[in-house]
Copies of this chain bind each other. A is one copy, B any other.
Amino acid sequence: MYGTIESLDRLIEKFASLPGVGKKTAERLAYGLIMSSEENVRSFSDAMLKAKENIHLCPVCQSLTDKELCSVCANEARDHSVICVVEDPKVVLSLEKVRQFSGVYHVLHGSISPTHGITPDKLKISELTERVAKGGIREVILATNATFSGDTTALYISQLLKEYDVKITRLAYGIPVGADLEYADSITLLKALEGRREF
């Protein structure tokens, strides 16, 4: 009976600790892994350690990278005076696919949600204000999700940046309200970039 196998319970618990994974899903994933080859389990385990070892946050934009700087921040051809602020590193990839944005990014790693214990200090907001305070920034595009917490975050940041001589914009309508930016298609994202308005 598998319910009393300690090492399996521990593995299920680990899977269940990942975002959006419930008990039943964790059981299915653990079972799937156990039933795969020993070689696969070894390489999976190795992939985890390697990824954690190699990947860190870009010291400038807080996106994930395995280099000193991420490829966007390291690219001198980009416009470093325009910062696009996003909640999640996955959104950077979605925006890059549009091939229309030549500025740089700033990843917050979440949005303000006091009910979930996510206060501004848990996000990479001070890193953003520091970037702006250093000067040389023309525009900050607030590309947080079109959700309540995304809007709250955008409002919060816009208040913080008011004291600096920087244009603050928010992604335009075009993004369906309530949707997650990560799943937006390229054309919707392009429209949203083009129609961005003063915050």
Chain A residues close to B by CB (< 8 Å): 1-8, 10-11, 13-14, 17-21, 24-25, 27-36, 38, 40-55, 63-66, 70-72, 88-90, 92-93, 96, 109, 182-183
Contacts and interface: CB of A to CB of B under 8 A. Distances in A.
A38 B7 CA distance: 20
Contacts of A2: 63-65, 89-90, 92-93
A15 to B, nearest CB: 8
A48 B7 CA distance: 8
A14 B43 contact: yes
Nearest to A36: B17
Contacts of A31: 19, 64, 88-90
A19 B8 contact: no
A43 B15 CA distance: 11
Contact of A45 (B3, B48, B70): B48
